[in-house]
Amino acid sequence: MSDPFILGYEMYYKINKLRDFTNNKVTAGFSTRHGGVSQEPFQSLNLGLHVKDVDEDVIDNRMRLAEAIDTQLDQWVFADQVHGSEISKVKQTDKGKGSKSLESGIIGMDGLYTRERDLVLALAYADCVPIFFLSEESDIVGIAHAGWKGSVKGIAARMVDTWVTMEEVAVDSIHVFVGPSIQECCYEVDERVITQVDDSLDDEDPRPYTAKGNSKYQLNLQHLNKQLLIRAGVPEKNVHLTKLCTSCNIERFFSHRKENGATGRMLGFIMLKQ
């Protein structure tokens, strides 16, 4: 089966066959580390304003990516992420928030969704899991940032529950695309993390990790989020996982773990088009 994320251009991956689910009314993707102006160790398309890169270079990079998907940067909306599970509904009055300064982003959120047209929802990543949400039947899109903390707090399921209860979206119409992140091959965690992973699952659920001994485990955050999404009611066939590992592919992606924290950030982005 083909990967749901394919390289569309040097600057970003796009979701394969997205028009099959949305009648070509959604633009979504995940950036690479190529095509920008940032200098080492952020070379070259760093899109994060919080990593001590030159702000002017980051804004230049963001403008380049915005242009690549036929938008303007003032259409983009960013959150001030905190590795939590809070979600915000984005409206036209939020247009441009966080696009040119970290402080102006939507504070304390790791999930964004909207019913508004031509607003680009954007979150930053460098190993954490980008999760994209859309509905076949309703004009609504969303995106979540799920590191291990956000994953065990259930941010993916919270997005689904919010859509179903607050937006009256049919749960079986929801498709979820889980994008490039650190994969099990490269993600070693300790007992402290695994205890919280176990607490987030039911006893009968398969464990999304492999024990290595010495209280170390290889954790698959993508499979953890898939299990939590299915429990929230999303049909298994509607959860689409990539095999792309950010840590294995640092020639293509930034990886906080592989590069010992001295690196840039990619963006996940999604937009309802006019």
Domain assignment present for 171: yes
- What's the CATH code of the domain at 51? 3.60.140.10
Domain assignment present for 77: yes
- Burial of residue 2 (CB within 10 Å: 0-12, 13-18, 19+) is exposed
Q: What is the span of the domain harbouring residue 153?
A: 5-181+236-272
Domain assignment present for 218: no
Domain assignment present for 212: no
Give how many domains the chain has, as a whole number: 1
Q: Tell me the CA distances in angstroms from 242 to 4, 30, 161, 199, 223, one per residue in order.
A: 6, 12, 23, 25, 11
Domain assignment present for 30: yes
Domain assignment present for 253: yes
Per-residue pLDDT of the chain (274 residues; tens, 9 = 90+): 689 999 988 999 999 988 888 888 999 999 999 999 999 999 999 999 999 999 999 999 999 999 999 999 999 999 999 999 999 999 999 999 999 999 999 999 999 999 999 999 999 999 999 999 999 999 999 999 999 999 999 999 999 999 999 999 999 999 999 999 999 999 999 999 999 999 999 999 999 999 999 999 999 999 999 999 999 999 999 999 999 999 999 999 999 999 999 999 999 999 999 8
Domain assignment present for 142: yes
Cα–Cα dist 221/146, whole Å: 8
Domain assignment present for 204: no
